[in-house]
Chains A and B, each alone.
Chain A
Amino acid sequence: MKLSELKSTWNALEEEKAPKDTSAILGLERLPKTHSRSTLAKIKRSLLFKLWFAGTTLLISSTILTGSFIRPAKFTFFESFLDLTDNRILLVTMVIFLVIILIGNARAFKEIRSFQTKADTIKVSLAHFIGIMERTIRLNIFTNTAFNTLVVGWIGFLIGQRTGIFGEVEPLMVPLALGGLGALLFYRLAQYGQQLKFGRYLDQLKSNLKTLKEDGH
């Protein structure tokens, strides 16, 4: 069998198998309301959820933080462990973290939305897509690491205050030390998780792009 025969086989296959489609069978009318099941669409939905969650938490945190300045007595919580200053430090840390998360996720979301409406060449689109994937992976690693580090740091601080197991150690040193150790551990874990989830897929995409870039073009 020669290559030219492959071509005729291909054409014959298409003529033979082509069904008589109608727009109704294809569901074209429902198309504007259909949800995509592509990788990017899934990432976009997850970003949207994070945006919603971070936005709501930011609103609550900012309200409490503002309240702690207007009516300190009403807006202080964990009174047994945290005084007013601790409360404010916790809230400011949360607000800063949430703002960074919101900006990062909003940018990624906007970029994916704009990418989905483009019809670039395969090479441009693939390079852009890989860029988006890499930035999203970095954002996920940062979010997971920062969030878990914050939680561990504050839990350590609260345990230290409640049980006194850290003895005479400066109270702020506990969350800092635990946070530092946690950051290293969570960074590795987040990296591993993202590698497991997208690593092979990303490698395949890069290899496809490399095929297009070979020979110095």
Chain B
Amino acid sequence: MDSILLAHCNDYDQLKYQWQALDNKQLEKEFYNRIMENLGIIRKVCRMYCDDGEHRKDLFQEILLQLWKSYPTFRGQSQFSTLMYRVALNVSIQDMRKTKRERGFFIRTNTFKEPCAETETDTSKERLKTLRRAISGLNKVEKAIVLLHLEEKSNAEIAEIMGITPNHVRVKMNRIKKKLTKTIKDRYHETF
């Protein structure tokens, strides 16, 4: 490879440029492979923070872009998934676009339940509504902690991503659980 390059490059700058191009190609390939392996992380973060499809698509693209920008600084000290969570959550938390709820168009999920017609699909739909309702009552940081908890990350891992102590994560998680339980109970009383 050296000889091929040297044959075509007369000066140092040109050679350096060629090497950079090669490095970039290598970097792109490596980046794409890592992204494809961990794509679920971005999808889950987008689902957690966006109600509507278009917003979700925009956020998805923005996260990918920020990951691409920060990828050259990734030195492998921590897992790539940690970098992905950090970038994806940072982008989502700093996202300025308002959610439907913040715009004041939040419509309470339908509480109507057909008696004695409960199938498995109805149950899962109902659970999904409850899940969305419960999550929508949390602020952006709480959503991040819940997401990591749902992803079965340990308190230490959550602390590493969030930048707080594992003890603080535990305290936060207890509060969030109480908040979620209350929302779920409220929803249960509304439904039945």
Interface residues of A (CB under 8 A from B): 1-3, 5-7, 9-14, 17-18, 21, 23, 26-28, 31-32, 34, 36-40, 116-126, 129, 201, 204-205, 207-208, 211-212, 215, 217
Task: Fill in one digit per residue for B55-71: 1 if any A CB lies within 8 Å of its CB, else 0.
Answer: 00010011011101110
> Is B184 engaged at the interface, CB distance under 8 Å to the other chain?
yes
> Is B162 engaged at the interface, CB distance under 8 Å to the other chain?
yes
> Residue on A with the closest CB to B158?
A122
Is A40 in contact with B164, judged by CB distance below 8 angstroms?
no
A10: chain B residues within 8 A (beta carbon): 131, 150
> Is B9 engaged at the interface, CB distance under 8 Å to the other chain?
no
A-B contact count (CB 8 A): 143
> Is B113 engaged at the interface, CB distance under 8 Å to the other chain?
no
Q: Bound state CA distance, A40 and B94, in angstroms?
A: 9
A32: chain B residues within 8 A (beta carbon): 24, 28, 68
Is A6 in contact with B150, judged by CB distance below 8 angstroms?
yes
Is B61 in contact with A119, judged by CB distance below 8 angstroms?
no
Is B43 in contact with A18, judged by CB distance below 8 angstroms?
yes
Task: Give the Cβ gap from B46 to chain A, nearest Cβ, in Å.
Answer: 11
Q: Would you list 5 pairs from A and B whose C-beta atoms are within 8 A, ordered by A residue?
A: A38-B95, A39-B95, A121-B161, A122-B141, A211-B139
Q: Bound state CA distance, A74 and B24, in angstroms?
A: 53
Classify the secondary structure of B's interface with A: helix
Q: Bound state CA distance, A27 and B163, in angstroms?
A: 31
Is A208 in contact with B141, judged by CB distance below 8 angstroms?
yes
> Residue on B with the closest CB to A126?
B93
Residue from B24, B62, B94, B164 within 8 A of A212 (CB atoms): B164
Is A217 in contact with B40, judged by CB distance below 8 angstroms?
no
> Is B91 engaged at the interface, CB distance under 8 Å to the other chain?
yes
Q: Bound state CA distance, A3 and B135, in angstroms?
A: 12
Residue from B64, B74, B142 within 8 A of A211 (CB atoms): B142
Task: Give the Cβ gap from A149 to chain B, nearest Cβ, in Å.
Answer: 30
Is B130 in contact with A21, judged by CB distance below 8 angstroms?
no
